[in-house]
Amino acid sequence: MSALAELQTQASARTRIPRAERRRLNAKKRWDNSGYLFLLPWMIGIAGLTVIPMASSLYFSLTKYPLLKGPTWIGVDNYIRLFADARVWTSFRVTFTYVIIGVPLQLAVALAIAVLLDRGMKGLSFYRSVLYLPSLLGGSVAIAVLWKAVFGADGVFNAFLALFGIHGMGWVSNPKTALGSIILLHCWTFGSAMVIFLAGLRNIPTMYYEAAEIDGAGPWKRFTSITMPLLTPIIFFNLVMQIIAAFQSFTQAYIVSGGNGGPADSTLFYALYLYKNAFSYFQMGYAAAMAWVLFLVIAAVTGINFWLSKYWVFYDA
Amino acid sequence: MTTLAPLAPPAHRRANHTSVSRRLTSVAKHLLLIVVAVTMIYPLLWLIWSSFRANGEIFKNTWLLPLPDFGNLTNFATGFTSFQQMTGYTYPFAHFFLNTLIITVGCVIGNLATCSLAAYAFARQKFRGRSVMFAVMLLTVMLPGHVVLIPQYIIWNKLGLINTFVPLILPKFLAVDAFYTFLMVQFIRGIPSELDESARIDGANHWRIFSRIMLPLMVPAMATTAIFTFIGVWNDFFSQLIYLTDPKKWTVAIGVKGFIDSETGSNYGATFAMSLLSIVPLFLIFLFGQKYLVKGIAMTGFK
């Protein structure tokens, strides 16, 4: 066979076989590309509501932007001003206190109660429901309003203290205790974490405990050597997500302080100060810079959390 | 027999002893749980009780007894009158409820429709860039909303959509709640792929597989998404505060906030009554949706 003939057969083969093949491939491609159609809403959302706004907010953070006038480029001035702004530091202190005390405390209470609610315990579903209810309502304005009254000078909390002969004070109007009452509100909503832990506890095989008991392990030993290690992935997941959420908390502080973060800026959460800059003082550029700093702080803390998890989170094989 | 006799009583006594101590621990446990439960629930009961008590009485007697007259609706009437002046509506609170309901239901529908579509694509379809897009989607779960807040506000403002529900509802139709998308992806991954493969051999396209096979199987994940979206949007305050400044567009949350800011806001009875009304739907979800709530939380709390 000559080289030419060989080429011809090859060429015809290239056109002949692919015809059927191509139809199959086209159908496959159409089959696969329909994924883009399913994702279309998400792609519009990610572009229009996340990526482009993120880029613009980065740009706005480098401008002076009074809402009605439009942006003028000022470089990194907003960031310089931000680090010199005493109220920014105050709001960081308030927010970090809330995150560092509130989140672990709430998770610890949730875990303790979940462990107490043994499996098969009488009245389990009753307790679970009652203890869960606050976390369903806790984010609402109504509960923040209630909280302000409960911890007010003549509120329920002081009436309770009076039973023990303790003379209380106006907890939300005292700069030393106002933040504490908001942290307590956060702890009050431990129910949903408790339900997660309960489900996690149920996944631990009973035979682990039986074996430990035979080996003479007491309740505390069983808790620290079986329950805790096996729950660490769930604890970690909830810790990470809750910390991210806690950095952004706003409603409770806004309502309890009447929108100003008082008394004496003691409940000036970062998100609240950001809101005020944007929507009370209409400094859009400065608020955008604050948002970016918050974003970086949350990213850093989350990163540290993941790094630390190597040392305490136990992943079962 | 005689050798066994001395052995039997201690064993018996020991068993008795442990059962007594077990019972004691159990009683102590229940006592502790009851104390915790009462402490937790007391503020809520006080909220309900105070809504029916005369304004002057609320802080004089912070206990539950004597029971208030639950037929006394003075506080509610005071609240409504104050809202009438603010909004100009005859039934202001009905409007607040309706506004909140429109937003909430709109958001639920949006999340159900678009998160499930996106989840199906991520879990079951192959296309270029899928893994990158999936990673981006996961990252947005952790993205604080503040970073996009100001440009979004400026856009809605330029479009003249402040004081409409569009900025609150439309984003949910673009699958922005990545958390629910992720939840559904995990759920779909748990569904055996033989089901859709056999449907594919029978000539079904993706839309058919999604709508006829996946959606009916995804009911638990959809119920979880619906219920948590409802709770989240009903409790939302921040975005409603920013986008709804006209009292006629207020939701219940902004209504309560507006109430505290008003002159009547110093009337605690009325404030409590309005607060209580604003969370009635959440109580209803709690009463009738418990099963889904508990299952849903367990589903969302794991990885």
Query: Is A275 close to B238, i.e. CB distance below 8 A?
Result: yes
Residue B303 in contact with partner chain A when CB distance is under 8 A: yes
Q: What is the pLDDT of residue A1?
A: 44
Q: Kindly indicate the confidence band of residue A296, based on its pLDDT and cuts at 50, 70 and 90.
A: very high
CA atoms within 13 A on the CB side of B212: 10
pTM of the entire structure? 0.88
Residue B235 in contact with partner chain A when CB distance is under 8 A: yes
Calpha distance B255→B199 (Å, rounded): 51
Is residue A121 within 8 Å of B33, Cβ to Cβ?
A: no
How far does the CA of residue A6 sit from the closest CA of chain B (Å)? 37
Chain B residues in contact with A188 (beta carbon < 8 A): 40, 43
How far does the CA of residue A13 sit from the closest CA of chain B (Å)? 29
Q: Kindly indicate the confidence band of residue B266, based on its pLDDT and cuts at 50, 70 and 90.
A: confident
Q: Which of residues 64-103 of B touch A (CB under 8 A)?
A: none
Q: What is the pLDDT of residue A276?
A: 95
Q: Kindly indicate the confidence band of residue B57, based on its pLDDT and cuts at 50, 70 and 90.
A: confident
Which of A33, A35, A137 faces B282 most closely, judged by CB atoms?
Answer: A137
Query: Is B297 close to A195, i.e. CB distance below 8 A?
Result: yes
For residue A263, whether the previous peptide bond is cis, meaning omega lies within 30 degrees of 0, is yes
Q: How far is CA A136 from CA A195, B52, B103, in A?
A: 12, 23, 19
Q: What is the pLDDT of residue A317?
A: 45
Residue B45 in contact with partner chain A when CB distance is under 8 A: no
Using the Cα atoms of residue B124, residue B129, residue B134 and residue B140 in order, give the sign of their dihedral.
negative
**How confident is the model over A113-125, as pLDDT tens digits?**
999 887 778 888 8
How far does the CA of residue B260 sit from the closest CA of chain A (Å)? 8
Q: What is the pLDDT of residue B12?
A: 44
A118-132, A222-236, B29-43: the lowest-pLDDT one: A118-132
Task: Please report where in the chains the tokens 């709770």 appear, as a residue.
Answer: B231
Chain A residues in contact with B155 (beta carbon < 8 A): 53
**How confident is the model over B30-48, as pLDDT tens digits?**
999 999 999 999 999 999 9
Query: Is A131 close to B37, i.e. CB distance below 8 A?
Result: yes
Of B91, B46, B47, nearest to B248 by C-alpha is: B91
- pLDDT of A170 > 50? The answer is yes
Of B274, B277, B272, B290, nearest to A130 by C-alpha is: B290
Number of neighbours of residue B16 by Cβ within 10 angstroms:
10
Q: What is the pLDDT of residue B43?
A: 93
Which of B125, B137, B145 faces A38 most closely, judged by CB atoms?
Answer: B125
How far does the CA of residue B171 sit from the closest CA of chain A (Å)? 7
Q: What percent of chain A has pLDDT over 90?
A: 60
> Residue A272 burial (CB < 10 Å; 0-12/13-18/19+)?
buried
- Give, for B44, the enclosing helix (H) or strand (E): helix B8-51
ipTM of the complex: 0.88
Q: What is the pLDDT of residue B4?
A: 42
Query: Is A255 close to B268, i.e. CB distance below 8 A?
Result: no
How far does the CA of residue B43 sit from the closest CA of chain A (Å)? 7
Of A34, A44, A140, A245, nearest to B172 by C-alpha is: A44
